[in-house]
Amino acid sequence: MERFTGLIGIVLILGLAVLASNNRKAINIRLVLSGLMLQLLSLS
């Protein structure tokens, strides 16, 4: 469960960033997801 706590935190921060964004269409989902995958791979 401790491992998922960090993941939930990252998702929460990203969600807040999307909500606070003035231009949500400018957010590149592919770039965000690839960054998250790199984060998850670095945990191993």
d(CA 19, CA 4): 22
Q: Check residue 44 and give its pLDDT.
A: 61
Task: Please check the confidence at residue 12 and state whether its pLDDT lies above 80.
Answer: yes
Q: Check residue 19 and give its pLDDT.
A: 94
User: How many domains, the chain?
Assistant: 1
pTM for the complete prediction?
0.66
Domain that holds residue 10: 2-43
**CA nearest 18: which of 38, 32, 34, 37?**
32
Q: Check residue 28 and give its pLDDT.
A: 92
pLDDT digits over 13-36, tens only? 999 999 999 998 999 999 989 988
Burial letters for 14-23: b for 16+ Cβ neighbours within 10 Å, e otherwise?
A: eeeeeeeeee
